[in-house]
A = this chain, B = another copy of it.
Amino acid sequence: MKINKITSAQVAKLAGVSQSAVSRVFTPGASVSIKTTKKVKEAALSLGYRPNSIARAMVSGKSRMIGVVVAYLENQFYPEALERLSNCLQEKGYHVLIFMAGKDRQSIDNVIEEILDYQVDGIIAASVSMSSGLSERCRAAGVPMVLFNRAQDDPNMSAITSDNIEGGKKIAKFLISSGHKKISYIAGWEGASTQRDREAGFISILNDAGLSLHSRKVGNFVFEDSREATRSMFFNNTPEAVFVANDHMAFAVMDTLRYELGLKIPDDVSVVGYDDVPAASWPSYLLTTVQQPVNIMVRETVEILIEKIENPEARPQKIKVDGPLILRKSAKIHKGN
């Protein structure tokens, strides 16, 4: 088994040109005549030559790799986002170096250092919050970073989210207008900006209408936690409607309501989620939810990151993408009289 490491020098020899010529043929925008281009391409093809990305990264300082940090893939929202991110980046000639982060700070710190070691051109952090020390570290290393689906106060950090406050408001308005009075909330992990914003928007409208939260429990974005939250929330003084901070938890809530507590959705309780993951439209759930427009969010994320890579002076941006409320069957539309 002989291993085949073709270098530009070998191609050059075969084509009867200099190594630089070969390099230039594979460098868009470089100055080469059509004649040499042709000779080189032929030689390259016959030897099976392709430029070595690592060597390229070494000298140019650009690896064309983007580090993507993800915390957990169980919530369907993230695989979908990851798939789109990867595709979108691939189209622009970048590739994804993926890292799983634990929840704790330490783990994230380590992960970022490892990412930096690979000289990535940029970092996308999905559903992860950054210590300001870390973002400082990235800035010092000259590696731009953008947050996906998490916002941060830090003014030099770009972040793309859906408009979670507005989304929370939409849900509150919808629930109120369809006649619900006793309205509860099941929260996600309290450290997440998405959680806080959704709740804040939701409550602000409740308050405007002279209502306040009927009850509140925490599901931590975790399936089992949300089941437990549901049990204790419905132990007595049952609400008429529950807004659950994301779809993934909403499924747990619906399942518990139906199969453990014997309640009908939406006749006995209305349930609303957030995200519009694929399963939200499965017949078992038909979940009324606010859609996070993944494709738009991804496109914006990639655009902002690349802009920042190409022009380090680019100002950081916070983008909020508006998402529609998708009406399905898990929440009553008009409260009967």
Contacts and interface: CB of A to CB of B under 8 A. Distances in A.
User: How extensive is the interface on chain A, given as a class?
Assistant: 35 or more
Interface in A89-106: 90, 95-100
A16 interface: no
Interface stretch (A37-45, A196-204, A233-241, A251-259): A251-259
A214 B292 CA distance: 43
A53 B117 contact: yes
Contacts of A334: none
A324 interface: no
A133 to B, nearest CB: 12
A190 interface: no
B95 A100 contact: no
Nearest to A285: B284
B58 A55 contact: yes
Contacts of A72: 83
Nearest to A83: B73
Question: Which residue of A3, A79, A252 has the most chain B CB atoms within 10 A of its CB atom?
Answer: A79
* Copies assembled: 2
A65 B117 contact: no
A256 to B, nearest CB: 7
Interface stretch (A137-145, A166-174, A293-301): A137-145
Given A54-B58, A256-B283, A283-B259, A118 B98 contact: no
B312 A283 contact: no
A50 interface: yes
A4 interface: yes
8 contacts: A74-B80, A83-B100, A86-B98, A95-B118, A96-B99, A251-B282, A259-B284, A284-B285
Interface of A: 1, 3-5, 48, 50-55, 57-58, 63, 65, 72-74, 76, 78-80, 82-83, 86-87, 90, 95-100, 113-114, 116-119, 139-142, 223, 251-252, 254-256, 258-260, 278-279, 282-285, 312
The 7 A-B residue pairs whose C-beta atoms are closest, nearest first, are: A3-B142, A73-B79, A255-B283, A259-B283, A79-B79, A53-B117, A4-B140
